[in-house]
Structure 1
Amino acid sequence: MSNALMPVFDGHNDVLLRLHHSGIAQPATAFIEGEAAGHIDLPRARAGGLAGGLCAIYVPSPGMAKDANNDFLTPAQPDSLNRTLAMARILFDIEARSAGGLKVCRTAADIRRSIETGVFAAVMHIEGAEAITADLDALYVLHQSGLRTLGPVWSRPNIFAYGVPFRFPSSPDIGPGLSDAGKDLIRACNELKIMVDLSHMNEQGFWDIARLSNAPLVASHSNVHQLSPHSRNLTDRQLDAIRDTGGLVGINFGVLFLRDDGTRNPDTGLDLLVRHAAYIADRIGIDHVALGSDFDGTTIPAAMKDATGLPLLIDAFRAGGFDEEALIKISHANWISVLERSWGG
C-alpha cells in the first residue's frame, strides 16, 4: 500500500458471496491474484488504500424468491449453515494462501498491526443469522472460528427478528421486533463480545436491541433517512440513539440509499455520499461516522468503479470541508475504536 494513500477500514463488503457464486475453481487464488469481476480483490484493495473491513457471509433466499408483498423470503435453514461454512472456508483459504497478505482479525490490535504492516485486515461477519438455530450452538462454534460481528437479519424475517424490507419511500417502521429467540441471540452476542449490526434491522427490532444490548449501537452500512427516505436508512431518532451509546454509522456507497429519488442510477455523484456523512457528523458528531461501502453487494457510483476509486472519495471528502483529522476518523479510526469497545479490548 502506498504511503500516500489514506488507509480505509470498511464496514461491509460481499466479496465472499461473489466468490462463492463465481464458479471459480480456486476462489482464494482469484482474490489474491486479482480478477476482472466485482469491486474487491487484493491487488485492487492495495491500489485504492482499502486496508481491510468486515467481510460478510450472506446466504441469499433461494432464487431470491419474493412473497406477495415483493419482500424476500427466508432461505432453508440447513442449506444456510452449509453455505455459511463454505464462505468462511473461502476467507480462511485466502488467509492461508496469501503469504501474509490477508489476516482474519479477532482483536482491534490485530487490525491496527495489519494496517501498519500493509496486511488486509479481514473481520469475519455474518449478515443474517439463518445459519444459527434457537439453541445458539452454531453461534458459539462460529465465534471460536473467528466470528466477531453479526447482523441478526438481512432484509427478510427469520426466527430472530423481522428484517426491514427494501421499500422507497418508506419508514423503517415495518413489522414486529425481536422474537424471544432474538433476545437470547443479542444477550449471547453481548456475552461473547460479538458486535451486533443493525443495518438490516427494522425500527421495532432496532429499539428492542437498544433496550437490551450493553454494547455500542452500530449500523455498518446505512445512510440518512432524512436525505434518502429508503426503509434501510436511519431516522434522526435512531442516529441520536447510536450517538448516545458511543456507536457508529458506516456510510453505504449504494446509490439506492444515497439518492432522494430511490433509483438505482450509477450516475450519482460522490458529493451525495459526502452529504450523508456531513449530516451524521453535524447531528451526532464526527466520532460516529465511518464507511460501510457494500462493495460487491450493491450498485455504487460509477465514478468510483471499485476499490481503486477510494482515493477519489477521500478527495471528495476534502473538497466537502473535512480536514485530515476528520478523514482519519472516518476512514479507519472510528471503526477500530468502536470494535475495540465492542470486543472488550
Structure 2
Amino acid sequence: MTGATPKIFDGHNDTLLKLLMHRGTPKQRHFLDRAEHDHIDLPRAMEGGFCGGFFALWVPSVLDNGASVTRGADDPAHFQPVDQAAALAYTARLISEAVQIERAAPMKVAICRSTSQIRQATVDGKLAMLLHMEGAEAIDPDFAALDLLYEAGLRSLGPVWSRKNIFADGVPMRFNSSPDTGPGLTEKGRELVKRCNDMGIMLDMSHITEQGFWDVVKLSSKPIVATHSNVHALCPHARNLTDKQLSAIAESKGVVGVNFAASFLRGDGSWSADTPLDVIVRHAAYLVEKLGEDGVAFGSDFDGCRVPKDLKDVAGLPRLIEAFRAAGFGEPLITKIAHENWWRVLERSGI
C-alpha cells in the first residue's frame, strides 16, 4: 500500500564534488535549480523527501577540473597518493561549494554542526548538510588542519579512501575479494582516531582495510559506523563488510548505511543499472538481521556511483520506500532506516 515518504537523511553523497568538477563544463549546474543529470539538487531532493545527509569532501587523485576525469576502478592514476597541501586546498574549495549554497538560500539549506541543528533544520523545512571527509589526505601530521576543518563544520571522517595515506591503507575497488587487503592504522592513524573521539568527529569505516577496521574497534570509544557499505555475504566486494565486522558494529551499537552503487549490491559485481530495487532491500534486510532495527540506514553514494535505473536519482527515493513496504518492512522500521538511526548514532557519537 502506498503511503507518505518519511524524511530521508542519507549517509553519503558526492554532490559537492560533482558541482565543483562540472564548473566550466557543459554539465555545470546550480544546486538550487533542477537538473536532468547527476543525482542531487534542491528541487529533486524536496520531491524525494530528502531532508539532508552527509556531504562528502573527497579529493580526487587527478586534480584537473571537468567532467572528463576518469574515476574507473581500472585506472591506476585514480588511486595515486595526494599531497597534503593540495588536498587541503581542494577540500577548502569543496567546503566553499557548501557555504555558497547556504549563503544563497539560508531559508532552504543549512550546514549543521550538531544533531540538534539537523533536527531543527528538518523542522524548519531546510535541507541539512553535515560535512564528512572521505579520506584524510587534507590533514597534516600535526593535526592543525583537523582543528581548522572542525571549526568549518567537519563532523564525520573516514581516515582513508581506497588509497594509502599517512593514517591507514584503503581497500581496493575489487570484486570477489575479502576486505583483508593490507595493513591497518599507522601510528598517526591511531592518534587521529583518539583525536576524533575527543573532538566529537564520527569515524567512518567504509573504505578502510579489515585490519584497519579492527584497529579502530580496539581504539575507539564511540559507535563503529560505515556510512556507505553493504553486505559481503551478498556481494563479495572488498568494499563490503563481513559478518564478523557486522557483529562488531552491532556490539558497538553502530550503524551501516546501505550503499546504492550497483557494483556493491549485485552478486555478480556488475555496474549494470539494470539492478532491481529489491537488491537494496535484500541488503537492508540482512543488515537488520545482523545489526537490529537500530543499526541500518541509507548511505546512497549519490553523485558518486551508478545507481539502479528504477531509482535514477534522489527524486526516486519514494519508489525505494515503496519497495521496502512491499517487502514487509513496517512503518516504524522504515522511519528508523530513513533518518532516525543516523540521528541517534550521531548523538551517541557526541555530535
Q: TM-score range by the shorter chain?
A: over 0.9
Q: Alpha carbons of 1:169 and 1:332: their partners in 2 closer, same or farther (altered >3 Å)?
A: same
CA deviations 1:43-75 (Å, max 9, x no partner) are 000000001000001011126699999582112
Letter in 2 for 1:41: D
Match of 2:156 among 138, 145, 149: 149
Distance in 2, matches of 1:53 and 1:118, equals 14
Distance in 2, matches of 1:195 and 1:95, equals 23
Say whether residues 1:114 and 2:121 are aligned partners. Answer: yes
Distance in 1, matches of 2:332 and 2:109, equals 27
Distance in 1, matches of 2:52 and 2:219, equals 30
For structure 2, the 5+ residue unaligned runs are 63-68
Name the counterpart of 1:282.
Answer: 289
Q: 1:90 Cα deviation (Å)?
A: 0.6
Q: Alpha carbons of 1:22 and 1:260: their partners in 2 closer, same or farther (altered >3 Å)?
A: same
Say whether residues 1:297 and 2:304 are aligned partners. Answer: yes
8 A Cα contact 1:66 1:72, kept in partner: no
Q: 1:284 Cα deviation (Å)?
A: 2.0
Q: 1:5 Cα deviation (Å)?
A: 2.7
Q: 1:145 Cα deviation (Å)?
A: 1.1
Distance in 1, matches of 2:350 and 2:56, equals 18
Letter in 1 for 2:301: D
> How do 1:218-229 and structure 2 match up within 5 A?
218-229=225-236
Q: 1:33 Cα deviation (Å)?
A: 2.0
Q: 1:34 Cα deviation (Å)?
A: 2.4
Name the counterpart of 2:65.
Answer: none
Q: 1:24 Cα deviation (Å)?
A: 4.6
CA deviations 1:88-123 (Å, max 9, x no partner) are 011011111113111111111111111122110110
Distance in 2, matches of 1:90 and 1:169, equals 37
Letter in 2 for 1:90: E
Secondary structure of 1:33's counterpart equals coil
Letter in 2 for 1:13: N
Name the counterpart of 2:173.
Answer: 166
8 A Cα contact 1:65 1:73, kept in partner: no
Name the counterpart of 1:20.
Answer: 20
Name the counterpart of 2:66.
Answer: none
Distance in 2, matches of 1:143 and 1:284, equals 30
Letter in 1 for 2:173: F
Q: 1:302 Cα deviation (Å)?
A: 0.4
CA deviations 1:257-297 (Å, max 9, x no partner) are 00000110000000000000000101221110000000000
Distance in 1, matches of 2:185 and 2:96, equals 30
Higher helix fraction (1 or 2): 1
CA deviations 1:204-252 (Å, max 9, x no partner) are 0000000001110000000000000000000001001001011000000
Distance in 2, matches of 1:138 and 1:185, equals 12
Q: TM-score, normalised by structure 2?
A: 0.93
Secondary structure of 2:338's counterpart equals helix
Distance in 2, matches of 1:151 and 1:24, equals 29
Q: Alpha carbons of 1:46 and 1:297: their partners in 2 closer, same or farther (altered >3 Å)?
A: same
* Larger deviation, residues 209-218 vs 98-107: 98-107
Q: Alpha carbons of 1:300 and 1:39: their partners in 2 closer, same or farther (altered >3 Å)?
A: same
Letter in 2 for 1:106: R
- Structure 1 vs Structure 2 CA RMSD: 2.0
**Count, aligned residues:** 341
Name the counterpart of 1:316.
Answer: 323
Distance in 1, matches of 2:199 and 2:70, equals 32
8 A Cα contact 1:66 1:73, kept in partner: no
Name the counterpart of 2:44.
Answer: 44
Q: Alpha carbons of 1:104 and 1:235: their partners in 2 closer, same or farther (altered >3 Å)?
A: same
Letter in 2 for 1:313: L
8 A Cα contact 2:8 2:338, kept in partner: yes
Q: Alpha carbons of 1:65 and 1:267: their partners in 2 closer, same or farther (altered >3 Å)?
A: closer
Q: 1:23 Cα deviation (Å)?
A: 1.3
CA deviations 1:312-334 (Å, max 9, x no partner) are 00000001110000001000000
Task: Report % sequence identity.
Answer: 49
For structure 1, the 5+ residue unaligned runs are none
Secondary structure of 2:269's counterpart equals coil
